[in-house]
Structure 1
């Protein structure tokens, strides 16, 4: 799924070095050295779509790149990261796919699996590769989320494979959703919480397990600021942060998503009342 041109540059450098070494050592003549260089570049270019192997089994995924295997247990996988991008040189668009891990080493949280061309609207271009559909099918089988489910479902549909399962629908608690006064009854002062979230946001970059706590507290703070100020901009921010939390939790929430924030915030503080402290 990688573009062939991505390894052409590397292949060209290796081919040039090999040609120079062979020519300087007298092992082969100039014409033969040129053929060796051309062969290395061709191998790099045409091997790029198959530059890695991904194998799924009961234990997890095994990624083999440059003949070096690396295993990822299912418990360590959190889904498939998908980012749409644009090529400035040819004005085309592409989709980059990476594994999303529980303990990310970087922004995309795992190794890159490939990059494919897409349309300007971010939809599959032409007939999607069978390998791409099979990749999505693995995530369907193990009920792991992908970042762009509509894109994945279109690829699966074209290839006649099962669709991604729908996100679970959040069910409000039997006693009803807590009112804001109840949900935020013992919450920290808004200004103190704002300062703590700045520190927590920095800690998230080092410890991803804090990511969910950060999103929840950020959404709750935005909701509280709207309840205090009552202006339209504060409402828009509160709704946006609530939506981000819902998306992070991979849920479907009907109606005002701030209800979900309030219920989750109250549950968190009820279970761990001492957790709101600076990292």
Structure 2
């Protein structure tokens, strides 16, 4: 009989019925199983359904949002409905790699055994960058975060599919994700999580396959960046290191805008925004992110 661990997976989804089924199947195929998988249907035009075999496991619960609220609100709904302290997320177009959940849970247990600050560590892992046709491009192992200054540098550790966190501690000390944001919501959330004293510990393994998705418009990114900049001004108002933190946030948010401008072939806007990012945080590379250890793709495709 497969062992059960006290963990809940939250999968937000808008449409994507077939990809959702793939994501759920990748969890149910693990060597250990989470106590529950919560699928949050973010008011899909055609309601999502659980296949009969999946529903029969008794481990998967489907919650339908009455109105579309975005990924942040869907994750909040899942966290609030979870019965376990520990929660992981999986985007509906991603999947767990085979036999990775058990070592990830062991990594978490070892980490909690060694720290006096129980529940104040977010446990991450790497992933495989994958094209929609299943081609694996590379593996990325993100660098860890030791405090707020790291989290302010950007969102580089794929929180939508590659972390496990203690929802009780996070919700009490930092709050949930900002449901008003439709872009860069993970960055704003983990800025608050970092300010609340959490750290990110990373396991040296790829735990998920992440499918490259569609790009976001410059207008949408700019609107989110403006809102986040105002939020950060308030969050850092009384901190002695506010100048450093704000510069790092400015560098990252301008970088995200520049990336969107580049994808839209708006070269003048790209040059101006990238110059602003480099001025805010001088560096010898374009990206202000802490970065990753990059590895060659495995010889075979690993995809359910």
Question: What is the TM-score with the length of structure 2 in the denominator?
Answer: 0.23
Larger Rg: 1
Q: Which has the higher strand share?
A: 2
Higher helix share: 1
Q: How high is the TM-score relative to the length of structure 1?
A: 0.24
